[in-house]
Amino acid sequence: MRLRKEVDMGKLVGILHGTEGPFPYDLIETINKKNIKGVRAEMIKTGAVGAGEKCSYDVIIDRISHCLPYFRDYTRNAFLNGTYVINNPFRFFLEKYFAYGVARKIGVKVPRTVLIPTKDHPKGFEDSDLENLEFPLKWEEIIEQVGGFPAVLKPSEGGGWRDVYIVHDMDELMDAYDKSGTTVMTLQEFINFQQYVRVLVYGKKYVMPIRYNPGHKEDPSQAAYIVDHEHLSPEMGKIVVNQAIKLCEVLDYDMNSVEFAIEDGVPYAIDFCNQVPDSRPDVVTPHYYEWILDKMSAVAIEYALNPPPISCWPSIKHLVHGEMEKRVNGE
């Protein structure tokens, strides 16, 4: 493992990523070209890591641990040793369903959403393990709770439009639910939106509300991101920008895209747990790609030089704070 002194006490930013085109490489280049107070960025290479082992990186931008669990443990070990990880590996809010509840608590409007016991259970579960679950489910009441059909059945923890069903009647709902197996699902009010916005938020302060076209999923020849500087009224722009920042603050995301569906002038937050916002230049357009590179690199540099307070469970906070202080003081 590389030791810190090899980097002359400069600040080091490391990138973790999966297959996502040029973004990770361009991000490294952008940070290095800014050449600010010796902050450097590089691709992380890692193998076996000792528990409690020091980490060379002051900041890690993690774009992979949500799909490769090894990296979740890797980033948590780094976090424990004073590395600022984007996004926080101790964020407890991965689940969409929970985040909808958090949004309501802070006054951000979300569609009515209910959690549904899973259709199937992992192998080996007996009926006696399920004593706490109501059966059969009262479907008529559940549908009423979300305002009737159409409704959206989707995973409580999902992404990439996986297993998202818009259902128009009981047959379609039962069909979709039967397919859900052991995935925890939610049923949600359908928002009959006229506009859809993806708000990119970096470092809880750099914000870009982008006109988004969900129709591109059915017809990939259509653009997903549309460069349009006039798509929102100034009032609506202010509302979605402020709500997106509030959501990223309370859910502790330093990179996120926050989706709003706007129906009759009311924005509903639909999807705001996107820990790795799409950054492929051909999807986000060259215009927004440049913006993303500029803002993500700015956050990495700012955090490397002056890490903001971290959040984790209170009983280990003092361990992490001690390590961060040492890092900041160059010890």
| CA-wise closest residue to 162 among 224, 96, 118, 219 | 96
- Which is nearer to Mg ion, 58 or 271 (by Cβ)? 271
188, 152 contact by CB (below 8 A): yes
Q: Which of 152, 236, 244, 284 binds ligand ADP (CB under 6 A)?
A: 152
177 in contact with ligand ADP (CB under 6 A): no
Site string for ligand ADP, 247-276 (x = CB under 6 A): ------------x-x--------xx-----
83 C-beta neighbours (distance < 10 Å), count: 28
160 in contact with ligand ADP (CB under 6 A): yes
How many of the chain's residues bind ligand ADP (CB under 6 A)? Answer: 18
155, 163 contact by CB (below 8 A): yes
Per CB under 6 A, the segment of 72-80, 114-122, 154-162, 295-303 that binds ligand ADP is 154-162
- Which is nearer to Mg ion, 271 or 323 (by Cβ)? 271
Q: How far is the CB of 2 from ligand ADP (least distance, A)?
A: 36
Q: Which of 87, 88, 188, 297 binds ligand ADP (CB under 6 A)?
A: 188
271 in contact with Mg ion (CB under 5 A): yes
Q: Residue 295 contacts by C-beta under 8 Å, 6 or more apart in sequence? A: 200, 202, 203, 206, 208
- Which is nearer to ligand ADP, 58 or 189 (by Cβ)? 189
| CA-wise closest residue to 288 among 221, 222, 229, 219 | 229
111 in contact with ligand ADP (CB under 6 A): yes
112, 102 contact by CB (below 8 A): no
Q: What is the DSSP string of 173-226?
A: HHHHHHHTTTS-EEEEEPP--SEEEEEEEETTTEEEEEEE-GGGGT-TTS-SEE
Q: Residue 55 contacts by C-beta under 8 Å, 6 or more apart in sequence? A: 77, 78, 81, 82, 83
Which DSSP category does 307 fall into? P
Q: Give dist(CA 244, CA 97) in Å, integer.
A: 17
21 in contact with ligand ADP (CB under 6 A): no
Per CB under 6 A, the segment of 126-134, 187-195, 200-208, 321-329 that binds ligand ADP is 187-195
159 in contact with ligand ADP (CB under 6 A): yes
Q: Give dist(CA 78, CA 286) in Å, integer.
A: 33
- Which is nearer to Mg ion, 11 or 96 (by Cβ)? 96
Let me know how long the chain is.
Answer: 331
Mark out the alpha helices in 207-313 (DSSP H runs): 234-251, 281-305
58 in contact with Mg ion (CB under 5 A): no
220 in contact with ligand ADP (CB under 6 A): no
Per CB under 5 A, the segment of 9-17, 248-256, 263-271, 320-328 that binds Mg ion is 263-271
Per CB under 6 A, the segment of 98-106, 185-193, 232-240, 307-315 that binds ligand ADP is 185-193
200 in contact with ligand ADP (CB under 6 A): no
- Is the link from the previous residue into 234 a cis peptide, with omega within 30 of 0? no
Which option in Mg ion, ligand ADP, none does residue 214 bind, with CB closer than 5 to 8 A by kind?
A: ligand ADP
Which option in ligand ADP, Mg ion, none does residue 191 bind, with CB closer than 5 to 8 A by kind?
A: ligand ADP
Per CB under 6 A, the segment of 24-32, 40-48, 186-194, 281-289 that binds ligand ADP is 186-194
Pairing of strands 185-189, 113-116: antiparallel
Q: Which of 82, 158, 209, 307 binds ligand ADP (CB under 6 A)?
A: 158
Q: Residue 297 contacts by C-beta under 8 Å, 6 or more apart in sequence? A: 27, 30, 31, 34, 41
Residue numbers at the binding site for ligand ADP (CB under 6 A): 111, 152, 154, 158-162, 164, 188-191, 214, 259, 261, 270-271
Residue numbers at the binding site for Mg ion (CB under 5 A): 271
